[in-house]
Amino acid sequence: MDVQVYHDSNAQENSGIQTRNAAKKIENATAPKRTALGQLNNVRQQPARAVKNAPFKVFEDAENMQPTISKEIEKKAKATKKSAANIVSNPTVNLLSNMAAVHLPSIRQEELDNVGSPMALDVSCMETSETPVIDPLVDRDLALYCLHEYQEDIHDHLREAEMKLRPKLNYMRKQNDISPQMRTILVDWLVEVGEEYNLHDETLHLAVNYIDRFLSQMSVLRGKLQLVGTACMFIASKYEEIYPPDVGEFVYITDDTYTKRQLLRMEHLVIKVLGFDVAVPTANVFLDMYCRQLGVSSKLKCLAQYAMEMSLLDCDNYLIYKPSIIASASLFLAAHLLSNRSLGEQHPPPTLIAKVTRYEQADVAPCVQLLLKTLQTAHEQPQQAVREKYKSDSRRAVSLIPIDSV
């Protein structure tokens, strides 16, 4: 007796779908947790004033309005076309060119070879076999000695540049839909992003500077604040890092909240608003220069860096101070705190720090007291990314040092 077995195709299809769904759940459970920011929309604040639907609004300052680059290019193009038309229509020019062609004496190739090319280089003043070549990796002391000659000029240039590229002090008053607390959450998240991708400290400082300068000129909705911060971090990483993360990585860390197209368009807008001025002397630049001149220990430098990065979270109290003042105050505070602990390490005295930084201790005393208060209350803050960053052994665990009063 023959027995026929009928296969239920629908049952097989349903079982296949269940198997794929189970595999997808396992994959999502084992995938590494991305550093995503989802807190900005949940921040409580006072009812916002009437805001238009546009995500960005330009703060118009009539005295600062300048013609755009496109208008300048168009003006130059019209001037060039006009001058070219005059040359073509001017018979005198054509006549002179014909006369030059008739009376120009012929020059043999041998004479041209003897004269030489007008593009030839004069190598008489260039390096010879007897000229010493300085290798910064081998002759480090000699290289630093040569740099010392321009040290004061470099310092003067940085002090001038920091005044030109500062954000407006009270720009948060013009923001209708975001608050200082939202900015603090954003910067704390950027610290985690920098740690996840092993970015330099300077990249973080540059990104915060770009954010503050952008918000000084544009009113932003809270739904676009993370996009602004991500674009600024993307620009800073491309400027500072040798191998910056790809644009897809920055889309990934936002938990795919934005697309690549949105991020690239925001990058274009930020660059345009900043006027392509991305080379900014941050507090980290000044601190690195001061520590190199003073020859401080790694622990003192890490403690000063910790104080500076904590100041990035607070825009209300620290925007009034220039980056050089924050760097100098952090150095004064770190040297004092480590000297009081008597760990057997030699630290530069305040007089030497004042000579290098060009700030007397009394001049930066208000900033020192503010930094001290920030460090003392750091463990009470809801944002702990900076403290966790400086708990590592590579940072000498400076965030675990008990902070005493000065």
Whether residue 257 lies inside any domain: the answer is: yes
Neighbours of 324 (CB within 10 A): 25
Looking at 274, 308, 341, the residue that finishes a domain is 274
Ranges of H-type helices in 40-179? 69-89, 91-103, 109-115, 140-148, 151-164
How far apart, in whole angstroms, are the C-alpha atoms of residue 92 and residue 94?
A: 5
Same domain, 286 and 390: yes
The CA-atom distances, in angstroms, between 19 and each of 7, 8, 9, 26, 28 are 19, 17, 15, 11, 14
Looking at 242, 274, 306, the residue that finishes a domain is 274
Same domain, 291 and 324: yes
pLDDT at 51: 46
Q: Is 66 helix (H, G, I), strand (E, B) or coil?
A: coil
Total tally of structural domains belonging to the chain: 2
Query: H-helix or E-strand containing 57?
Result: strand 56-58
- Going 314 to 318 to 322 to 327, the CA torsion angle's sign is negative
pLDDT, tens digit only, all 406 positions of the chain: 444 444 444 444 455 555 555 555 555 555 555 566 665 655 555 544 444 555 666 655 545 444 444 555 556 556 555 544 453 444 433 433 443 444 434 445 554 455 444 445 444 554 444 444 545 444 555 555 556 778 889 999 999 999 999 999 889 998 999 999 999 999 999 999 999 999 999 999 999 999 999 999 999 999 999 999 999 999 999 999 999 999 999 999 999 899 999 999 999 999 999 999 999 999 999 999 999 999 999 999 999 999 999 999 999 899 999 999 999 999 999 999 998 776 557 789 999 999 999 999 999 999 999 999 999 999 999 999 999 999 999 999 999 998 876 5
Whether residue 348 lies inside any domain: the answer is: yes
**Do the beta carbons of residue 251 and residue 177 sit within 8 Å?**
no
CA proximity to 224, closest of 271, 169, 182:
182
Same domain, 344 and 371: yes
Looking at 274, 292, 327, the residue that finishes a domain is 274
**Do the beta carbons of residue 367 and residue 406 sit within 8 Å?**
no
Same domain, 311 and 396: yes
Whether residue 246 lies inside any domain: the answer is: yes
Same domain, 231 and 193: yes
- Full-prediction pTM beyond 0.75? no
Same domain, 360 and 262: no
Whether residue 17 lies inside any domain: the answer is: no
pLDDT at 66: 47
Whether residue 249 lies inside any domain: the answer is: yes
The CA-atom distances, in angstroms, between 31 and each of 36, 250, 254, 280, 343 are 14, 17, 16, 38, 44
Query: H-helix or E-strand containing 197?
Result: none
The domain that holds 384 is classified in CATH as 1.10.472.10
Amino acid at the residue 403: I
How far apart, in whole angstroms, are the C-alpha atoms of residue 65 and residue 47?
A: 32
* Cβ partners under 8 Å of residue 327, min gap 6: 283, 284, 286, 287, 290, 304, 308, 357
Question: Domain residues for 245?
Answer: 166-274
Whether residue 174 lies inside any domain: the answer is: yes
Same domain, 268 and 377: no
Same domain, 184 and 204: yes
* Cβ partners under 8 Å of residue 297, min gap 6: 345, 346, 347
Give the tokens for residue 168.
Answer: 């407006």
Whether residue 240 lies inside any domain: the answer is: yes
